[in-house]
Every structure is written in C-alpha cells, then in structure tokens.
Amino acid sequence: MVRGVYIHIPFCHQICNYCDFNKFFFQNQPVDEYIESLGKEMALWKEQLQDAQIETIFIGGGTPTSLSELQLERLLTLIHQHIPMNHVVEFTSEANPDELTLEKMQVMRKFGVNRLSMGVQTFDQDLLKVLGRTHSNEHVYKVIENAKKIDFPSISIDLMYGLPNQTMEQWKYSLQEAFRLKIPHISSYSLLVEPKTVFYNLMSKGKLSLPGEDLEAEMYGYLMDEMKKQGYSQYEISNYSHEGKQSKHNLIYWDNDEYFGFGAGAHGYVNNTRYSNHGPLKKYMQTIDQGEKPLVMQKEVTFTEKMEEEMFLGLRKNAGVSLKRFENRYGQTLTEAYGKEMEELIQKEFIVIENEFVKLTRRGRFLGNEVFQYFLR
C-alpha cells in the first residue's frame, strides 16, 4: 500500500554551497507553468492515487517558500484536487526562514499543512555565509513566533555539523539556540560534500577545510547526549523529537514502504518499482504535455534488494528492524537471511537484539554506513 506523497519544488532564490538536489535559480523560470504541470502529473497517476491510502504529504525542494502566496495557493489547490485527503494525518512543507511570511503560513494552514520543516543549518552567522544561506537568526525567531501565534501544530528545524572550519564551541552554541526555540522536532546531519556542488569544487582544489573524523564524532556524541538531556528522543540516526512528533513521512521511507514522487527530479516507489522523473524543467514539462508520465528511470526491486533495503533503512531507526515483520514480509527469519552478518555485527557490538528487534548500539550509530554495508550483496 502506497502511504506517502512527495512533491518537489525545484526553485530557489539562492543556491546553497552544499546542495545537490534538483534545483534552479528562481529568476526567469516558468514557475506558474511548472505548478500546472505538477497538477497534470498527479492527474496521470489518478488510478494509483485512488487505490492508495495516503497518510502523509511532504512538499520539498529546492524551496517551496520561494513561491508567492498566490503560487502557493494554486499548488495547494491542485494537491487537494488530485490527492485523496481523507487519511492524511501529516502535511509538511519545507521552508526558508527569510521567505516564510505570516501570510504564507496562513495560506498553508488554510489548506491543511500542519508541519513546517525549516532549513536553519546553523545559528553561527559566519558559518551561514560559508554555506551560502541568506537568512539571519532573527528570521528564524520571527518565523517560530508567527508559527506559534497561529497555532501551527508541529515545527521542525534542520541543523548541520561538520561544517568548514566549524569548532565545537560553534556547534554547542547552535544547539543551545535551537533548544531555546522550544520546538518539538530537530533533524541534525553531518555535512556530506556531494558532486556538482560549490563545496565539492572547493574540496577538489584543496580549498575546503573540514573538521576531522574525531571532531565530527565528538559533535555527534555531544548532539545525542544534549538532545536526551533536553527531553528529545532519538528515533533515527539524525532525528530527535518530543513524544508523538516524529516525522511520519520520513518513517515511511525508513519502514521501506511505498510513496509517490511528483515533480522534476522527484523519486518514488510504487507497485514494487522505484522510479525517478526527468530533472530538466523543459523535458519534465514537455513529457507531461504529451500525456505521458515524466519518468526517466524505472526499476523493479528484486526480492533480495527489498530485504537489503529493509535492513539498511530499518536500522536507521532507533527502534530497529522487527524480527516478526521481517519474517512475515520475506518468509524467512532474519537469522536465516543474514545469520553470518548478524553474528559478526553482534560480536563487534555494532548491533543488539532486544525485545524482538535488531537495532544499532550507540557505537553502531557512529559507524552506521559501515554496518549497512554488511547487508548489501
């Protein structure tokens, strides 16, 4: 059963130095036409959408809040027109702090958006400039104030560590500022330098100074400890929340369940097939105008690949992988499928079996990618 919908808005008023998502500088782009194409794409999936039980919708980017109020209203109208809303419990939009006005928030609330995911990344003004971000801390405080003023049900921010020349003191300060906001969810990731980014080009030229592995590990350890002290539960390698405020949409990914992906460069997983859309706007929109889904790749997931994904996605969650669910899904026990790997990982104290779940130990969380490799054949 398909449970989620992801919708991609690929426009940005500023391109960040670390971002490798499909995105385009806003100026002179066919933004209104793109929004109409999104509606047409959703219509092409009408039959599958009607058969699904959609629980979550996530508008990501790029920057959804780069849209004007009218454009945002048109997008949300099309979403309601094409996506069955009767089972939706979580409706998220990503946001930039310097673009999310009170008026845009009110439009979102009018159409049922009940969760904001805001890209803060750091509260250090110098590091914000290094990242290519244009907002200030005052923008963040104002957005949170406005969101609380109109009773926005859930708010999350993203923070990054392992940034160029970032010190432990800068990291501690960012966390302290985040805790002052008293919001129910925080996502925190280490910087990954991806190809086709400004940071990648700088690194290739030896001009990007990053913290070493030891300092990055210290930052992660401090993050986990402080989150716990502040009353946040870690429910996934990079995500922390108050009770009942976990990201239900992202849990669909980590539960290895299916979801639609709409928009230029979006990815989806439907009917046992992973797919991706054309990234270039012209190609994406032309294909839709011809009455065809804008698919550039489709791959049916094999039985073995499904088991692999069950493991490396499920182990990201603190709850881990359910032994019972694995056996029900794949007709064999976890020990039958991965006995040798499990034994070795238990010996290394990277995983543990507790209450019928296999989960990462604290040590395993520091070396998650190494653990996941054990389940890839």
User: Do the domain assignments include residue 174?
Assistant: yes
3-state secondary structure of 237: coil
Instruction: Between 196 and 30, name the one with better pLDDT.
Output: 30
In a shared domain, residues 167 and 233: yes
Determine the angle formed by the axes of helices 323-330 and 334-347, rounding to 10 degrees. 140
In a domain, 268, yes or no: no
Has residue 244 got a pLDDT over 80?
yes
Q: For residue 64, what is the DSSP state?
A: G
DSSP 8-state secondary structure symbol assigned to residue 317 = B
Task: Give the total number of structural domains in the chain.
Answer: 2
| Cα–Cα distance, 108 to 137 (Å, whole number) | 23
- Amino acid identity of residue 108, one-letter, is M
Residues 143 and 49 in one domain: yes
Same domain, 201 and 327: no
**Does any domain span residue 225?**
yes
Do 226 and 314 sit in the same domain of this protein?
Answer: no
**Same-domain check for residues 316 and 170:** no
Give the model confidence (pLDDT) of 350-369 as tens digits. Answer: 999 999 999 999 999 999 99
Whether 324 is covered by a domain: the verdict is yes
| Domain end call among 253, 273, 289 | 253
Q: Note the helical H segments in 68-167.
A: 69-82, 102-110, 125-131, 137-149
Checking if the pLDDT of 377 tops 80, the result is no
Tell whether 81 and 191 lie within a shared domain.
yes
- Count H helices and E strands in the chain, helices first: 16, 17
**200 and 341, same domain (yes or no):** no
How far lies 23's CA from each of 61, 151, 158, 292, in Å? Answer: 7, 31, 19, 22
DSSP string, 182-226: --SEEEEEE----TTSHHHHHHHTT------HHHHHHHHHHHHHH
We report the CATH number of the domain holding residue 217 as: 3.80.30.20
Instruction: Give the Å distances, CA to CA, from 44 to 259, 260, 294.
Output: 15, 12, 10
In a domain, 124, yes or no: yes
Structure tokens at 79: 């979403």
Residue 153 lies in a domain: yes
Residue 367 in 3-state DSSP? coil
Residue 232 pLDDT greater than 90, yes or no = yes
Residue 9: beta bridge partners?
Answer: 61
The C-alpha angle with vertex 23 and arms to 101 and 118, in degrees rounded to 5, equals: 35
Same domain, 113 and 230: yes
| pLDDT of the residue at 20 | 78
Statement to judge: residues 311 and 207 lie in one domain? no
**Are 129 and 243 members of one domain?**
yes
Do the beta carbons of residue 70 and residue 97 sit within 8 Å? Answer: no
- The model's pTM is 0.96
- Alpha-carbon gap, residue 231 to 56, rounded angstroms: 26
Do residue 247 and residue 332 come from a single domain?
no
CA distance 133 to 61: 15
Q: Specify whether 175 is located in the same domain as 28.
A: yes
Domain limit, last residue, from 217, 235, 253: 253
Residue numbers of the domain that contains 178: 2-253
Give the C-alpha separation, 139 to 9, whole Å: 22
Helices (H), 46-100: 46-51, 69-82
Look at residue 18 and give its three-state secondary structure.
coil
Element (H, E) at 343: helix 334-347
Q: Quote the DSSP letter at residue 310.
A: H
Has residue 26 got a pLDDT over 90? Answer: no
pLDDT tens figures, 269-290: 999 999 999 999 999 999 999 9
Q: Is residue 295 part of a domain?
A: no
113 three-class SS: coil
pLDDT above 80 (res 70): yes
Output the domain CATH number for residue 323.
1.10.10.920
Identify whether 115 is part of a domain: yes
For the record, the structure tokens of 356 come out as 């019928």
> According to the model, what pLDDT value does residue 38 have?
98
The amino acid occupying position 173 is Y
Domain boundary among 189, 220, 253: 253
Average pLDDT score over the chain: 96
Please, are residues 42 and 78 in contact by the beta-carbon 8 Å criterion?
yes
